[in-house]
Amino acid sequence: MYDFEAEALTRLTDDPFADLQPAWSPDGRVVAFVTDRFSSDLEQLKFGDYRLALYDIDARTIRAVPSIPDAKNINPQWSADGSSLYFLSDRLGVTNVYRLALATNELYQLTNLYTGITGRHHGPEPRVDLRRSLRPHRVFRVREG
């Protein structure tokens, strides 16, 4: 993390685990990211599935959040109000969009595509739009509200 005022760089993690795809919360206090730290056994060299985690910037703590077990959970994106995380998971072998309500830890599957979904949204808020074309495919975008 870079502090522009202090002109200082701070390392947030320093361990052998994979920490990928950081996404800052709307209030800038928490970073959602993908990690294997809760599912890997380094002593046995068994690398686990990617799970979701939250890094609290002030407390400098990492905590796991509910993810789909035995699946890859990637691409976390915050809702505009910071109450939910949207992410992709390949539960049952096909990647779809899910939402995690952080207050209740409830998971919701938002899409059910036979061919799966991929992508990363960098806009201010997620959107879900279904667009059909003359070709046999669909394009989804996650949208709140």
DSSP-derived 3-state class of residue 127: strand
Per the CB < 8 A criterion, the answer to whether 84 and 106 are in contact is no
| 2 lies in some domain | no
| 132 lies in some domain | yes
Distances (CA, A) of 111 to 37, 73, 80: 27, 15, 20
Between vectors from CA 1 to CA 100 and to CA 120, what angle results, nearest 5°?
40
- What is this structure's pTM? 0.78
Tens-digit pLDDT string for the chain (145 aa): 888 999 989 888 888 888 899 999 999 999 999 998 888 788 888 888 899 999 999 999 999 999 888 889 999 999 999 999 999 999 888 899 999 999 999 999 998 888 877 765 555 454 544 443 334 444 455 555 5
Work out how many domains the chain is built from and give that number: 1
| 59 lies in some domain | yes
How far is Cα 95 from Cα 76, in angstroms, rounded to an integer?
Answer: 13
Q: What is the CATH number of the domain that holds 109?
A: 2.120.10.30
How far is Cα 96 from Cα 86, in angstroms, rounded to an integer?
Answer: 10
What is the domain range of residue 75?
19-143
| 5 lies in some domain | no
| 7 lies in some domain | no
